[in-house]
Amino acid sequence: MTPDPSAAAAEPMVKIRGLRKHYGQREVLCGIDLDVSAGSVMCIIGPSGSGKSTLLSCINHLERIDAGKLWVEGELVGYREYNGRLYELPERQVARMRQKVGMVFQQFNLFPHMTALQNIIEAPIQVKRIPLAQARKRAMELLDRVGLADKHARFPAQLSGGEQQRVAIARALAMDPRLMLFDEPTSALDPELVGEVLAVMQDLARSGMTMVVVTHELAFAREVGDALVFMDAGVIVERGLPRAVLSAPKERRTQDFLSRVL
């Protein structure tokens, strides 16, 4: 059906073939094929309800897929293939795979009962069993990287939206992920706070992190993105270099969308 993923010379970080997903009767993803090459930044744009956030959640199996296959670093996500059949993996084993995929959410989802520092060291300590002193040292380095070292003892409620999102990025990075997923990371922010989060993301991209970014920030997609995908109604309508798609969209639906948001 699909070529053996290990056969390809330059293995893509994420490889998606024929992915389908539905909620009840409603099909939200109708056959997605997508490759994200290692070290690149893939931006996904599209109107709300187009399935772009659902696609992102399928990559780390927060949402289970109904058909198709999805690989991260050549490893089949959420399933084990045996004798031509797919067997769903138990949550414990999926959790192991998720360690190498960081995720940042629209609503930040920091743990409100923990300080910024505790938020960051929680998973390294609980999941990777890293010693406390070492986890704290690494967390402080990450907080410094996102410019919040002085606020390590604050609780999320004492931070601005932009600061919370930067802590959330540091929290994801603390697991040393191979891939970072961003689900509309700046959509819940006040306009004046968007810049600080995008700056951290741009810095991350420059350091060579593979990123998949669902966003409405077209300027970011144009400046930082290596590839761009436009989605509508559960399908990929158009794909290409960000500059090309944003300046000269070929498809009618892309043109309509861009004329509305620009």
Partner 1 sequence: MNAPIVAGGGGDPAPPQTVVPLRHPWTWLASGVVVGIAGLVLFSVATNPGFEWPVVAQYMFDEQILIGLSRTLELTLVAMLMGLVLGTLLAVMRLSPNPLLSTLSWLYIWFFRSVPVLVQLIFWYNFGALYATISLGIPFGPTLYSANTNALITPMFAALAGLGLAQAAYTAEVIRAGIVSVPHGQTRAARALGMQPMTIFRRIVLPQAMRVIIPPVGNEVISMVKSTSLVSVIALSELLYTAQLIYARTYETIPLLIVASLWYLIIVSVLSVGQHVLERKFRQR
Residues that bind partner 1 (CB under 8 A): 60, 62, 91-92, 95-99, 101-103, 105, 107, 109-113, 122-123, 126-127, 155, 157-158, 168, 171-172, 175
Q: Which is nearer to partner 1, 105 or 257 (CB)?
A: 105
CB closer to partner 1, 92 vs 260: 92
H or E segment and range at residue 50: none
- Minimum distance between the CB of residue 129 and partner 1, rounded to whole angstroms? 11
* CA–CA gap between residue 43 and residue 49 (Å, rounded): 16
Write the CB contacts of 41 (distance below 8 Å, at least 6 apart in sequence): 205, 210, 211, 213, 224, 225, 226, 227
Our CB check for partner 1 shows the closer of 131 and 195 to be: 131
21-43 burial string, b = 16+ CB within 10 Å, else e? Answer: beeeeebbbbebebbbeeebbbb
**Cβ atoms of residues 87 and 138 within 8 Å:** no
Kindly state the smallest distance separating residue 6's Cβ from partner 1, in Å: 24
42: phi then psi, degrees, rounded to nearest 5: -105, 125
Comparing CB distances to partner 1, the nearer of 48 and 126 is 126
Least distance from C-beta 20 to partner 1, angstroms? Answer: 22
Of the pair 126, 259, the CB lying nearest partner 1 is at 126
